[in-house]
Structure 1
Amino acid sequence: MEKPSISRKDFIKNSGLGFIGMAFMPAVLQGQNNDLKIDQMAAAGNSYMLKNVRLETGFEFEGEEVVGTRTELFSVEIEKGKIKKISPNEVGIKAIDAKGMLMLPSFKDMHIHLDKTLYAEKWRAVRRSGGIKGMIALEQKTMPDMLKNSTYKAEKLIELLQSHGTGFARSHVNIEPTSKLDSLKNLEKALASKKNGFGAELVAFPQHGLYYTDSLPYMKEAAKMGIDFIGGLDPTNVDGSIQKTMDTTVQLALDHGKGIDIHLHESGKSGVDTIEYLINKVNENPVLKGKTFVSHAFALAALDKSAQETMAEKLANAQVGIISTIPFGGTIMPIPTLLKHGVTVMTGNDSIVDYWSTMGTGSVLQKANLAAQLYGQVSEFGLSRMLRLATAGPIPLDDKGVQQWPKAGDDANLVLVDASCSAEAVSRISPIKSLIYKGNIVY
């Protein structure tokens, strides 16, 4: 074989993918049989072919019961960040050999704090005190020091997520009088350095309370910058008012064309009242439908079954989504009820290593596995449905077993997994062998 004129190191460097590409590039995409032309085109972001790609094609049934998943090997052509063509497998063609790995949509972490992690520092366990306001006081002391190298730590955390197959995240970013806009600016630098291998949307998050501290002026400034959502925090417990805090939050979103994603830890009546209030505000302002989310929403777990059904209907009608970190302590969220009524439910790691928690692994596939365990989704069908929690939506087969992903024209955001099917990937938390984001081979 002709000796390549572009090294793997240069390939990754030219792709702008940095350390993660070198650290995690497995044999599946670096074999000696890959052709020079393919490498060069992939490095230039043009087009390349994958062969021996395993795709799900349908369910296997015994009567009406799903007992297995059919798969076949295909060739997949990628061009300019899109899946251009899916064709019957061509073993002899010059292409990158996927070696029979299962191709799935790449994963999305839809609730994380990339801006204030302790990841890449020395180990330290959580030492909480004083409830939510005690944690606010702790952050007021620690944030100035954390900001000194927050860009570097965010980059390292992104690399961890990528190693678990995640190519996209929704990150909440501290906006408050201690950090001002610095936490946002530092994270934007990290995201810019990883843009070829990772995407994100940002939530301006008044972690220290919108009114408990004077965060509103900074939130107004952040709303004019590159953020996508207006965040919020426990309006009753922190600010002392649902109406005042939520009205301001909603108006900020309306004034600047943003979505809403609030943290709501309150589990009693105030939590339920906040959800009801937000639903009503969204119904009054339909432009917010499909763009409004409640993160955590522990109050839903405290409702009885009938009340959960009613609330799920209201959330679905208003197109207000729920972001759950599955689980949180002893709180088991009514996710099956929410999904049954068509509520958008997504998940994320929240904290990886920070002052709030050290339990995050970086894997949303693990979150899907936890959900399957918690809700008894142990069948082939049930496990395959839980994959949507890792992908934030798209899964290969619909409920009838008809292939719905991938299709020509889809974004080339995908992972290659050492599994025979989605159900196995969720059940076994199968190893992620490769991540491709917008056609760029991250590793």
Structure 2
Amino acid sequence: MLISDVRPWGGPRSDVVLDGSRIASIRPHSPSAAPSLDGRGRLLFPAFSDVHVHLDSTRIGLPFRPHTGGPGVVAMMENDRANWRSAEVPLVTRVADTLSRMIAHGTTRVRSYAQVDLDCGLEKLEAVLAAREKFSAQAEVQVMAFAQAGILREPGTYDVLDAAMRSGATVIGGIDPCTLDRDPKGHLDAVFALAEKHQAEIDIHLHEPGHLGLFSTDLVIERVRALDMRGRVTMSHAYDLGSISESVSRRVIDDFAALDIAMTTVAPSAAGQLSLLDLVSAGVRVGLGEDGQRDYWSPYGNCDLLDRTWQLAFTRGFRLDSHIELALAVATMGGASIMSHSVPRLSGVSDRPGLAVGDRADLVLVDGETPTSAVMDRGRDRTVLHNGVVVADGLEVVTP
């Protein structure tokens, strides 16, 4: 395939030649070329990677409803349990439609949570797995078995998680070892035991504040070091790890880099976060996600990770073009490096990967003057490729 007249990462107008699923060459644009795909001068970026999304609770496409969740994880979880079965559309349809919209907006790599517990059993997992299968030609989807209500609070949850891993999940999730299960050792022992049994990666949801969050994080770090789990653990959220002191932040970042512990963010407005610039400069894998999709937890989310990239830049106070472009790099190849360690970590704040010869042709064409303007304006003239094939155009999925 020849993609003509595009501007990789906002650079000069170029023609990009694909050989199957890989980029074969990038050369100056020639008006005489006969393209397979006319880029029309649009910007070319790697496709987006949403590495923290809860497809299993989505209400995208349904009538807007008042938000009824209370404060805190337990109240939100109980609100979800009280409402998810009574939605206007079956769960399998909702999940598939949401994934379709994500692909249409430019996301071709997805790591989704799937709630498994005594309330829903494997029903939510099965809906996410069905969507993964339905769109296997348009996106790469990893599915995480996640006990949002905790593992120890409800006896029997461990067995449901074990069954979920046998049913097709590839990542095991943990959550707030101290404040939810109130037994950090028991909670993390269960998570790491399941990971060892199923040779799976781990993703820990961490909402715990200050020193308590640091305590849970240090328990994770100890296990990664002792069990040689380098490169197989992600910390999600971790809103408050940067609130204690500069020396503590530096030590945590250095530990994450040395042990290849990744981080995902949903771009919250929290003040105590670890510095994104420092994380990337140290070589920590960092990815972006939308979290919920207008669900029973939150009215936010619209399937467009470019919108969330704007939010990441805004909440981090970024104004320089180089920093806003970094937000794009995190939203694209930063997340890709978490899903596959064959994708290198970002090598620094100025690294703009994903569009070199030999890279996988997961691409998104977006209208805009510069990468920064693309983040500010979030244009809708988009074309999306996965493995060298056009999978969406004009915000609609292309059916093969």
Fold conserved (TM > 0.5)?
A: yes
Matched, 1:290 2:243: no
Q: Which residue identity is paired with 1:406?
A: L
Matched, 1:238 2:191: no
Contact 1:424 1:430 in 2 (8 A): no
Distance 1:193 1:405 in 2: 26
Q: Which residue identity is paired with 1:418?
A: D
> Post-superposition shift, 1:207?
1.2
Alignment of 1:239-318 (within 5 A): 239-286=181-228, 288-318=229-259
> Post-superposition shift, 1:383?
2.3
In structure 1, the gaps of 5 or more residues are 1-47, 57-68
Matched, 1:188 2:129: yes
Tell me how many residue pairs correspond in the alignment.
381
Q: Which has the larger radius of gyration?
A: 1
Distance 1:187 1:325 in 2: 20
Structure 1's 383 and 133: CA in aligned 2 closer, same or farther, altered over 3 A?
closer
Q: Which residue identity is paired with 2:332?
A: T
Instruction: Give secondary structure in 2 for the equivalent of 1:72.
Output: coil
| Identical-residue share of aligned pairs (%) | 25
> Post-superposition shift, 1:331?
5.7
Distance 1:143 1:192 in 2: 22
Instruction: Give secondary structure in 2 for the equivalent of 1:124.
Output: coil
> Post-superposition shift, 1:144?
3.8
Counterpart for residue 422 of structure 1: 371
Structure 1's 347 and 432: CA in aligned 2 closer, same or farther, altered over 3 A?
farther
> Post-superposition shift, 1:181?
1.1
Counterpart for residue 72 of structure 2: 131
Q: Which of 264, 267, 272 lines up with 1:326 in the alignment?
A: 267
* 1:145-194 CA distance string (max 9 Å, x none): 45971111112211221232111211010011111111111211122111
Moved more, 373-382 or 292-301: 373-382
Counterpart for residue 377 of structure 1: 318
Distance 1:244 1:402 in 2: 40
Matched, 1:79 2:19: yes
Distance 1:318 1:153 in 2: 38
* 1:16-71 CA distance string (max 9 Å, x none): xxxxxxxxxxxxxxxxxxxxxxxxxxxxxxxx222112224xxxxxxxxxxxx6x2
Distance 1:439 1:355 in 2: 36
Counterpart for residue 33 of structure 2: 93
Q: Which of 75, 91, 106 lines up with 1:150 in the alignment?
A: 91
Q: Which residue identity is paired with 2:248?
A: A
In structure 2, the gaps of 5 or more residues are 337-343, 394-400
Structure 1's 205 and 391: CA in aligned 2 closer, same or farther, altered over 3 A?
same
Counterpart for residue 51 of structure 1: 4
Q: Which of 116, 120, 124 lines up with 1:175 in the alignment?
A: 116
Counterpart for residue 398 of structure 2: none
After superposition, the CA RMSD in angstroms is 2.5
TM-score by length of 2: 0.87
Moved more, 370-379 or 167-176: 370-379
Distance 2:315 2:365 in 1: 26
> Post-superposition shift, 1:239?
1.1
Q: Which of 183, 186, 209 lines up with 2:150 in the alignment?
A: 209
